[in-house]
Amino acid sequence: MRDAFQLDRYLARIGHRGSLAPDMSTLTALQAAHVDVIPFEALDPLMGRPVHVDLPSVQQKLVLGRRGGYCFEQNVLFQAALEAVGFKVAGLTGRVRWRSAPDDPLGPRQHMMLLVEVDSSPYLVDVGFGICMMDAPIRLEVGPEQQTAMGTFRIGTWNGLYTVSAKQPTGWRMMYAFDLVPQIHADYVLGSWYTSTSPNVPATTTLTMERVSRSARYKLVNRRSVVEARDGEVVEERMIESAAELGRLIDEIFQVTPPVPVEDIWARTKA
């Protein structure tokens, strides 16, 4: 898979022209540029279209096409980029807890993220958690709050697993629980198939998009547009009133060319 990766095309896509050494400065710059330019979006699952997570398909869609993707696509792509630069990377999976009550049972492994080694220290790296995307790597260290440009995160433990939580206006919110068992590509094919086809997951029922710039977090949930500052503080929220307005938002803010007419997407959303 690495042999098929076109690093130059990826770097041009995200606009990175700085260092390419396998160090913290490069990792941080690549992650910030990636989430600013390649948004989270799950238009294909929403519209009943197949999602392919092999690297050539992901490159064609997210790098050569004007599209974003969801966690498996995003982190498959980012892992390939980091390995091409020279980073040591392991793919992991997580069990999403964002919408779960504390006593809800664990769900399936339906999220992908990365463990990256920098200067012999492990860092959690994730460019695909599409309701609170991380804009910088965080140390795999239990306890301390870790600030990024657009958020504050914390690694914890729960039921024998690691967790990562994000600070929100209402307090800390768990994103997902995970372990450190490396996954193979077949695990992601299975997880992506479930996440893109099950009627019980948000990707197939809810229009969700997110882009994180250096100063704002842009979110689209069905017909609600939200702009957030650091730690989820809402600075603007409005309802979208028409398919034409939705199309302009997808084009101008998220910089995505939809795979189907925007009227079809509008029909799948609800206020």
Q: What is the pLDDT of residues 70-88, one digit of tens each?
A: 999 999 999 999 999 999 9
Average model confidence (pLDDT) across the chain:
96
What pLDDT sits at residue 1? 44
Q: For residue 23, give Cα distances in angstroms to 15, 116, 133.
A: 19, 10, 22
Q: What is the mean pLDDT of residues 168-174?
A: 96
Q: Is the predicted pLDDT of residue 102 greater than 50, yes or no?
A: yes
Q: Given this model, what pLDDT does residue 99 score?
A: 87
Tokens found for residue 100: 């779960």
Pairwise CA distance, residues 5 & 54, whole Å: 11
Residue 5 has pLDDT above 50, yes or no: yes
∠ CA 62-53-133, nearest 5°, is 60
pLDDT per residue over 44-60, tens digit each? 999 999 999 999 999 99
pLDDT confidence band for 101 (50 / 70 / 90): confident
**pLDDT of 4 above 90:** no
Cβ-based neighbours of 131, under 8 Å, separated by 6 or more: 98, 208, 210, 219
Catalytically active residues, by annotation: 71, 111, 126
- Among residues of the chain, what percentage have pLDDT more than 70? 99
**Percent of the chain residues past pLDDT 90, beyond the cut:** 93
CA 144 – CA 8 distance, rounded (Å)? 36
Is 60 exceeded by the pLDDT of residue 221?
yes
* CB half-sphere exposure, 2, CA atoms < 13 A: 11
Residue 179 reports pLDDT greater than 80 = yes
Q: Residue 3 has what pLDDT?
A: 53
pLDDT of 111 > 60? The answer is: yes
pLDDT at 222: 97
pLDDT at site 103: 86
